[in-house]
Amino acid sequence: MANYTIFGGGPAGLYTAWRLLTDPTKLTSADTVRIYEWGNYDYENNGDGDRTPAGRICSYHFNKNREQSYIEVGGMRFIEWDKEKYTGHQLVSLTIDKVLLNNKPLSDNIIEFNTTDNPLFYLRGKHFYSQNLGKNINGEIVLAPYNTPGNNAKPADALISNISNLITKGNNVTSRSEQCSFYQSGTLNTDFNSKSYVYNAGDIIGNIGYWNMFYDQAGNEGFQYAADAGGYSSNVINWNSANAAVYNGEFAPGGAFKTLSSGYSSLFVALYQECIKAAQNKGITFELTKKVRLHSIWHDNKQTPTTRYTTSNRSNPDQALDGNIGTDYAFLAMSPNALELVARATRYNKMKDGQTDILNKDNVQNYIQSVIEQPSYKVAMFFKTEWWKADGVKYKPDLINKKNNNINVFGPTITDLPLRQVYYFGDNSTGDIDDNDKVYGILASYDDMRFTQFWEELELSTKTRRTTPLSRNYQPLEGAGKAPDEMMRMLKLQLAKVHYDDANAAGLIPDPEETVFMNWGLNPFGAGYHAWAAHYDICDVMQQIRTPGKMAGINDANIFIVGSAYSNDQAWVEGAFCTVESVLIDYLGMKTIAQNTTDYPLICGCK
């Protein structure tokens, strides 16, 4: 008889519960699986909750009406697993297959999420379409407005790819296993002796910042072009060059982007339903408690079980409830910021004889801080018309994707204005909506890093003083926030610049029916996604961080850290699933459901 306690009911937490409950041999009716989730997500899809599940996935439907059009205000797509090439998201694809097979209502719901072959750019005050770069249009060669000769006649992807090739040259980085060795021990090739003022052949690539390297090889204008035109500022921060070179290169997982037609959240509704079914079939106690947070956690060798914790309520998350609860297995299925909040609370508990504050040990803290937090922000707008396609719009998005027959092409349009990226979702309602009630959505701003602050100050109207400190503003837990008119007008002002080349045309854009925002930099998430920092052996962190107890010298501590932050796919649900799967296989002796872990290691193995 054992109890398994999962803290965090996001993708990693739900996947943990589902795998434990559905494994044919692991659990029996004497066992218990519990999830504690800080938020109040509508796992049952019956309106009982503040927002759709789960964690950093959140499909927002117009007016919170599930029948209506939606925008993904969190994660939005996955990469279909290619069984021949071993690329794409193996566990997400597999889970969707298994969950869909059991869940008939979802069965036809995998749809394309295509990106355009010809994005519209508005950078440094100039409009251009990607496919026109380097071509003579009306007597003028179209160049991106950056002083980086040669590079500016091509999409920035070409420059980013060149930098990846420079960094990885001489190293094998095609398969996932090769990439793992490269993160651990990849070195710069001999070209660097003649082509770099700063770096030398033989330097360990994982100890170099990517921005540092980009500046060294492409100068400031090259870097700025890559940063602005890439859309995601997160991809060019000063992260681990080895990981960045692979992630930003052509070695990144290929394959087609897919999503679910009723929204990515529906996968987590289905996973929850599958947990309940499996628990009922086997007579296992399964409980998901919402609005309860793990407050602090420690090891106590004088008690059984040795893993001890306290919780707190959503209404007063800093105040531990009385109690000192034990569990046989604890899964911390949360982001590094959320982990740090637990560590901070635990730090103030005076440890007694026999007790160890695992999360605050120096080496554990060092590895918890081995990833850079990347705040991200999304604003969704719903309109009565698809005004961006109307006559009179000077620069329309060119929503084409030849390979995929131009089906479901969402964008993006990319700009250096704080909007950064625009995606055009249109009418994607799955319910029976009257023509008069139809709405058309755009992800009007998808931005990250420093740009998130631009929108944060617009969350409050000019009439309002801040009354909730940012550290206690749990907006992403509570669900998409209603944008004040000032934010709505600021969005229209920038959309007018991007699509009409005229801020004064803001009045031509109709007022939206609804505008909502999601600020993923706030607690408890602290970031939309994460990137490995330089000067860390990524392989070693991935391996060790899973068992912080062992790092603290307590070999039998069954405390596991899982989630996408310390994975090979840090900006993806796949990363969350892979870290869980690796723990279940390596520490709980379960058999994997993955089809191939040789060419596709769940996490990096270390030599």
Residue identified by tokens 């959320």 is: 338
563 binds ligand FAD, rule: CB under 6 A = yes
Q: Which is nearer to ligand FAD, 49 or 134 (CB)?
A: 49
DSSP 3-state of 352 = coil
> From residue 294, how far is each of 370, 476, 550 by CA, in Å?
22, 18, 21
Answer for the pair 432, 368: CB distance below 8 angstroms, yes or no. no
**What is d(CA 523, CA 510) in angstroms, rounded to the nearest whole number?**
34
Q: Which is nearer to ligand FAD, 7 or 367 (CB)?
A: 7
Residues between 473 and 492 that touch ligand FAD (CB under 6 A): 477
336 binds ligand FAD, rule: CB under 6 A = no
333 binds ligand FAD, rule: CB under 6 A = yes
Q: Among residues 528, 548, 549, 601, which is the contact residue for ligand FAD, using CB under 6 A?
A: 528
294 binds ligand FAD, rule: CB under 6 A = yes
Cα 425 to chain center, whole Å?
A: 19
Query: Least distance from C-beta 521 to ligand FAD, angstroms?
Result: 9
Q: Which is nearer to ligand FAD, 166 or 483 (CB)?
A: 483
Task: Determine the straight-line distance between the first and last CA of the chain, rounded to whole angstroms.
Answer: 36
42 binds ligand FAD, rule: CB under 6 A = no
51 binds ligand FAD, rule: CB under 6 A = no
Stretch (H or E) spanning 413: strand 413-415
- The interface region with ligand FAD, picked from 4-12, 96-104, 214-222, 357-365 by CB under 6 A, is 4-12
- The interface region with ligand FAD, picked from 11-19, 135-143, 152-160, 423-431 by CB under 6 A, is 11-19
Q: Which is nearer to ligand FAD, 442 or 505 (CB)?
A: 442
525 binds ligand FAD, rule: CB under 6 A = yes
Q: Which is nearer to ligand FAD, 262 or 335 (CB)?
A: 335
- The interface region with ligand FAD, picked from 327-335, 360-368, 379-387, 424-432 by CB under 6 A, is 327-335
576 binds ligand FAD, rule: CB under 6 A = yes
Q: Which is nearer to ligand FAD, 279 or 573 (CB)?
A: 573
Question: Can you list the positions of beta strands (E) in 217-270?
Answer: 257-260
**What is d(CA 326, CA 294) in angstroms, rounded to the nearest whole number?**
13
Residue identified by tokens 């097979």 is: 101
**What is d(CA 365, CA 336) in angstroms, rounded to the nearest whole number?**
10
SS (H, E, C) 30-99: CCEEEEEECCCECCCCCCCCCECCCCCCCEEEHHHCCCCCEEECCCCCEECCECCCCECCHHHHHHHHHH
11 binds ligand FAD, rule: CB under 6 A = yes
Query: Least distance from C-beta 591 to ligand FAD, angstroms?
Result: 23
Q: Among residues 16, 31, 32, 55, which is the contact residue for ligand FAD, using CB under 6 A?
A: 55
**What is d(CA 16, CA 5) in angstroms, rounded to the nearest whole number?**
10
Query: Least distance from C-beta 523 to ligand FAD, angstroms?
Result: 9
412 binds ligand FAD, rule: CB under 6 A = no
75 binds ligand FAD, rule: CB under 6 A = yes
Answer for the pair 231, 451: CB distance below 8 angstroms, yes or no. no
375 binds ligand FAD, rule: CB under 6 A = no
**What is d(CA 422, CA 410) in angstroms, rounded to the nearest whole number?**
9
571 binds ligand FAD, rule: CB under 6 A = yes
> From residue 132, how far is each of 137, 155, 318, 359 by CA, in Å?
7, 10, 55, 53
Q: Which is nearer to ligand FAD, 146 or 517 (CB)?
A: 517
Q: How many CA atoms lie within 13 A of 261 on its CB side?
A: 15
Q: Which is nearer to ligand FAD, 77 or 420 (CB)?
A: 77
Query: Least distance from C-beta 355 to ligand FAD, angstroms?
Result: 20
φ, ψ of residue 391 to 5 degrees: the values are: -60, 145
- Which positions ≥6 away from 177 have C-beta within 8 Å? 598, 599, 601, 605
564 binds ligand FAD, rule: CB under 6 A = yes
334 binds ligand FAD, rule: CB under 6 A = yes
Q: Which is nearer to ligand FAD, 41 or 382 (CB)?
A: 41
Q: Contact residues for ligand FAD (CB under 6 A)? A: 7-13, 36-39, 54-57, 74-78, 293-294, 333-335, 338, 342, 376, 378, 477, 520, 524-525, 528-529, 563-564, 571-573, 575-576
